[in-house]
Amino acid sequence: MTLPEPMSAVALLGLLDLTSLGEDDSPARIRALCAAARSRHGLPAAVCVYPEHVTAARESLAGTPVKIATVVNFPDGGSDPARVARETRRAIAAGADEIDMVLPYRALQAGDAAAARACVDACRAACGPDIALKLILETGALATPALIRQASELGLDAGVDFLKTSTGKVEVNATLEAAEVMLGAIAERGGGCGFKAAGGIRTAADARAYVALAERLLGPGWVTPVRFRIGASALFDALLAELDG
Protein backbone atom coordinates (compact mmCIF):
# COMPACT_ATOMS: atom_id res chain seq x y z
CA MET A 1 0.00 0.00 0.00
CA THR A 2 1.37 3.38 -1.04
CA LEU A 3 1.30 6.00 1.69
CA PRO A 4 -0.02 9.46 0.74
CA GLU A 5 2.50 12.23 0.26
CA PRO A 6 2.78 14.64 3.21
CA MET A 7 0.93 17.89 2.66
CA SER A 8 3.09 20.62 1.14
CA ALA A 9 4.15 23.65 3.12
CA VAL A 10 2.17 25.87 0.74
CA ALA A 11 -0.99 23.89 1.41
CA LEU A 12 -0.37 23.97 5.16
CA LEU A 13 0.03 27.74 4.96
CA GLY A 14 -3.46 27.96 3.49
CA LEU A 15 -4.89 26.10 6.52
CA LEU A 16 -3.35 28.47 9.05
CA ASP A 17 -5.20 30.78 11.42
CA LEU A 18 -2.23 33.09 12.00
CA THR A 19 -2.69 34.02 15.63
CA SER A 20 -1.58 36.77 17.98
CA LEU A 21 -3.27 36.77 21.38
CA GLY A 22 -0.65 38.50 23.49
CA GLU A 23 -1.73 40.61 26.43
CA ASP A 24 0.56 43.42 25.23
CA ASP A 25 -0.44 43.31 21.56
CA SER A 26 -0.68 46.78 20.03
CA PRO A 27 -2.31 47.95 16.81
CA ALA A 28 1.16 48.37 15.35
CA ARG A 29 2.06 44.77 16.17
CA ILE A 30 -1.15 43.52 14.62
CA ARG A 31 -0.56 45.54 11.46
CA ALA A 32 2.94 44.05 11.24
CA LEU A 33 1.46 40.56 11.63
CA CYS A 34 -1.02 41.24 8.84
CA ALA A 35 1.74 42.60 6.59
CA ALA A 36 3.70 39.39 7.17
CA ALA A 37 0.60 37.38 6.30
CA ARG A 38 0.84 38.73 2.76
CA SER A 39 3.71 36.34 2.07
CA ARG A 40 5.01 35.64 -1.42
CA HIS A 41 4.15 31.98 -0.89
CA GLY A 42 0.46 32.58 -0.23
CA LEU A 43 -2.02 33.70 2.39
CA PRO A 44 -3.26 32.06 5.59
CA ALA A 45 -6.91 31.18 5.90
CA ALA A 46 -7.41 33.72 8.71
CA VAL A 47 -5.73 35.89 11.27
CA CYS A 48 -6.96 35.56 14.87
CA VAL A 49 -6.60 38.54 17.22
CA TYR A 50 -8.22 39.96 20.33
CA PRO A 51 -11.49 41.87 19.70
CA GLU A 52 -9.88 45.26 20.20
CA HIS A 53 -7.61 44.57 17.22
CA VAL A 54 -10.24 43.36 14.77
CA THR A 55 -10.55 46.76 13.09
CA ALA A 56 -6.79 47.11 12.58
CA ALA A 57 -6.59 43.59 11.15
CA ARG A 58 -9.50 44.14 8.80
CA GLU A 59 -8.03 47.39 7.51
CA SER A 60 -4.60 45.80 7.05
CA LEU A 61 -5.95 42.84 5.08
CA ALA A 62 -8.50 44.71 3.00
CA GLY A 63 -8.70 43.35 -0.52
CA THR A 64 -7.61 39.83 0.46
CA PRO A 65 -9.73 36.73 1.14
CA VAL A 66 -8.14 36.31 4.60
CA LYS A 67 -10.80 35.96 7.29
CA ILE A 68 -10.64 38.00 10.49
CA ALA A 69 -11.18 35.80 13.55
CA THR A 70 -11.44 36.82 17.17
CA VAL A 71 -12.11 35.26 20.58
CA VAL A 72 -14.98 35.55 23.06
CA ASN A 73 -15.47 34.16 26.57
CA PHE A 74 -11.69 33.94 26.42
CA PRO A 75 -9.72 32.41 28.00
CA ASP A 76 -11.71 31.70 31.17
CA GLY A 77 -14.77 30.01 29.66
CA GLY A 78 -17.33 31.69 31.90
CA SER A 79 -20.96 30.63 32.15
CA ASP A 80 -22.84 33.87 31.43
CA PRO A 81 -24.80 33.60 28.15
CA ALA A 82 -25.58 37.32 28.13
CA ARG A 83 -21.88 38.16 28.32
CA VAL A 84 -21.07 35.73 25.52
CA ALA A 85 -23.78 37.17 23.29
CA ARG A 86 -22.71 40.75 24.03
CA GLU A 87 -19.03 40.06 23.27
CA THR A 88 -19.99 38.26 20.09
CA ARG A 89 -22.21 41.05 18.78
CA ARG A 90 -19.53 43.64 19.47
CA ALA A 91 -16.86 41.59 17.71
CA ILE A 92 -19.03 41.12 14.65
CA ALA A 93 -19.90 44.82 14.59
CA ALA A 94 -16.16 45.57 14.60
CA GLY A 95 -15.70 43.41 11.51
CA ALA A 96 -15.01 39.85 12.66
CA ASP A 97 -15.78 37.07 10.17
CA GLU A 98 -15.21 34.20 12.60
CA ILE A 99 -15.74 33.78 16.34
CA ASP A 100 -13.65 31.42 18.47
CA MET A 101 -15.64 30.92 21.68
CA VAL A 102 -14.40 29.14 24.79
CA LEU A 103 -16.81 26.49 26.01
CA PRO A 104 -17.73 26.81 29.71
CA TYR A 105 -15.62 23.75 30.31
CA ARG A 106 -15.57 24.08 34.08
CA ALA A 107 -19.38 23.96 34.10
CA LEU A 108 -19.21 20.82 32.00
CA GLN A 109 -16.68 19.28 34.39
CA ALA A 110 -19.02 20.08 37.26
CA GLY A 111 -21.85 18.23 35.55
CA ASP A 112 -23.76 21.32 34.38
CA ALA A 113 -23.95 20.64 30.67
CA ALA A 114 -27.05 22.83 30.41
CA ALA A 115 -25.13 25.94 31.48
CA ALA A 116 -22.40 25.18 28.96
CA ARG A 117 -24.92 24.62 26.19
CA ALA A 118 -26.76 27.87 27.00
CA CYS A 119 -23.59 29.86 26.30
CA VAL A 120 -22.94 28.05 23.04
CA ASP A 121 -26.53 28.63 21.95
CA ALA A 122 -26.23 32.33 22.80
CA CYS A 123 -23.10 32.64 20.69
CA ARG A 124 -24.60 30.65 17.81
CA ALA A 125 -27.63 32.92 17.79
CA ALA A 126 -25.49 36.06 17.85
CA CYS A 127 -23.34 34.75 14.98
CA GLY A 128 -26.32 33.99 12.78
CA PRO A 129 -25.85 32.04 9.56
CA ASP A 130 -23.00 34.09 8.11
CA ILE A 131 -20.37 34.14 10.88
CA ALA A 132 -18.39 30.95 11.50
CA LEU A 133 -18.39 29.74 15.10
CA LYS A 134 -15.42 27.74 16.37
CA LEU A 135 -15.99 26.19 19.80
CA ILE A 136 -12.85 25.93 21.95
CA LEU A 137 -13.21 22.85 24.14
CA GLU A 138 -10.02 23.36 26.21
CA THR A 139 -9.25 19.67 25.92
CA GLY A 140 -6.18 19.81 28.14
CA ALA A 141 -8.36 20.89 31.06
CA LEU A 142 -11.16 18.44 30.25
CA ALA A 143 -8.42 15.79 30.14
CA THR A 144 -10.47 12.61 29.84
CA PRO A 145 -11.69 11.12 26.54
CA ALA A 146 -15.21 10.90 27.99
CA LEU A 147 -15.40 14.63 28.76
CA ILE A 148 -13.77 15.58 25.45
CA ARG A 149 -16.33 13.43 23.67
CA GLN A 150 -19.19 14.99 25.66
CA ALA A 151 -17.94 18.50 24.85
CA SER A 152 -17.59 17.58 21.18
CA GLU A 153 -21.13 16.25 21.01
CA LEU A 154 -22.45 19.33 22.81
CA GLY A 155 -20.89 21.54 20.15
CA LEU A 156 -22.11 19.36 17.31
CA ASP A 157 -25.64 19.38 18.73
CA ALA A 158 -25.49 23.19 18.94
CA GLY A 159 -24.51 23.48 15.27
CA VAL A 160 -21.05 25.00 15.64
CA ASP A 161 -18.93 25.25 12.49
CA PHE A 162 -15.66 24.00 14.03
CA LEU A 163 -14.53 22.15 17.12
CA LYS A 164 -11.25 23.63 18.35
CA THR A 165 -8.88 22.01 20.82
CA SER A 166 -7.47 24.76 23.01
CA THR A 167 -6.94 28.39 23.94
CA GLY A 168 -3.16 28.03 24.12
CA LYS A 169 -3.40 29.58 27.59
CA VAL A 170 -3.35 26.44 29.76
CA GLU A 171 -0.67 23.91 30.66
CA VAL A 172 -1.80 21.21 28.20
CA ASN A 173 -3.05 22.38 24.82
CA ALA A 174 -3.51 20.49 21.54
CA THR A 175 -2.72 16.77 21.56
CA LEU A 176 -3.24 14.13 18.90
CA GLU A 177 -5.10 12.01 21.44
CA ALA A 178 -7.71 14.72 22.05
CA ALA A 179 -7.89 15.48 18.34
CA GLU A 180 -8.70 11.85 17.60
CA VAL A 181 -11.68 11.95 19.97
CA MET A 182 -12.95 15.18 18.42
CA LEU A 183 -12.43 14.07 14.83
CA GLY A 184 -14.08 10.75 15.61
CA ALA A 185 -17.17 12.57 16.84
CA ILE A 186 -17.17 14.76 13.73
CA ALA A 187 -16.84 11.69 11.50
CA GLU A 188 -19.75 9.95 13.18
CA ARG A 189 -21.93 12.99 12.39
CA GLY A 190 -21.02 12.90 8.70
CA GLY A 191 -18.00 15.21 8.64
CA GLY A 192 -19.92 18.44 8.17
CA CYS A 193 -18.34 20.21 11.14
CA GLY A 194 -14.79 21.49 10.87
CA PHE A 195 -11.82 20.98 13.19
CA LYS A 196 -9.15 23.35 14.46
CA ALA A 197 -6.00 22.33 16.28
CA ALA A 198 -4.46 25.12 18.34
CA GLY A 199 -1.89 25.50 21.08
CA GLY A 200 1.71 24.35 20.88
CA ILE A 201 1.80 23.45 17.17
CA ARG A 202 5.13 24.89 16.12
CA THR A 203 6.60 22.77 13.32
CA ALA A 204 5.53 21.53 9.92
CA ALA A 205 5.88 17.98 11.24
CA ASP A 206 3.43 18.79 14.04
CA ALA A 207 0.95 20.21 11.54
CA ARG A 208 1.29 17.27 9.16
CA ALA A 209 0.53 14.84 11.99
CA TYR A 210 -2.87 16.50 12.55
CA VAL A 211 -3.57 16.54 8.81
CA ALA A 212 -2.74 12.84 8.56
CA LEU A 213 -5.03 12.03 11.49
CA ALA A 214 -7.92 13.95 9.94
CA GLU A 215 -7.41 12.28 6.57
CA ARG A 216 -7.31 8.84 8.20
CA LEU A 217 -10.60 9.42 10.03
CA LEU A 218 -12.47 11.52 7.47
CA GLY A 219 -10.87 10.57 4.17
CA PRO A 220 -8.59 12.12 1.57
CA GLY A 221 -9.82 15.50 0.43
CA TRP A 222 -11.61 16.37 3.68
CA VAL A 223 -8.80 18.65 4.82
CA THR A 224 -9.45 22.05 3.25
CA PRO A 225 -9.53 25.56 4.78
CA VAL A 226 -13.32 25.32 4.89
CA ARG A 227 -13.17 22.41 7.35
CA PHE A 228 -9.68 22.26 8.83
CA ARG A 229 -7.57 24.94 10.49
CA ILE A 230 -4.41 25.14 12.54
CA GLY A 231 -4.15 28.02 15.00
CA ALA A 232 -0.53 29.04 15.48
CA SER A 233 2.06 31.76 15.23
CA ALA A 234 5.46 30.02 15.29
CA LEU A 235 4.24 27.55 12.65
CA PHE A 236 3.96 30.40 10.14
CA ASP A 237 7.67 31.15 10.45
CA ALA A 238 8.51 27.44 10.25
CA LEU A 239 6.54 27.06 7.02
CA LEU A 240 8.15 30.11 5.47
CA ALA A 241 11.58 28.77 6.42
CA GLU A 242 10.78 25.45 4.72
CA LEU A 243 9.53 27.21 1.61
CA ASP A 244 12.53 29.52 1.44
CA GLY A 245 14.98 26.70 2.14
Q: Are 105 and 134 within 8 A, CB to CB?
A: no
Cα–Cα distance, 50 to 70 (Å, whole number):
5
Catalytic residues: 100, 164, 196
Task: Tell how strand 132-136 and strand 194-198 pair up.
Answer: unpaired
* β-bridge mates for residue 46, sequence order: 17, 67
**Under a CB-based contact definition with an 8 Å cutoff, are residues 79 and 107 in contact?**
yes
Backbone angles phi, psi at 190, to 5 degrees: 100, 0
CB contact at 8 A, 17 and 231: yes
DSSP string for residues in 51-79: GGGHHHHHHHTTTS--EEEEEESTTT---
Decide: residue 31, CB within 10 A, 0-12 exposed, 13-18 middle, 19+ buried: middle
Q: In angstroms, rounded to a whole number, what is the distance separating the alpha carbons of residues 80 and 120?
A: 10
Angle of CA points 154, 177, 109, to nearest 5° = 40
CB 216 within 8 A of CB 191: no
* H/E stretch holding 133: strand 132-136
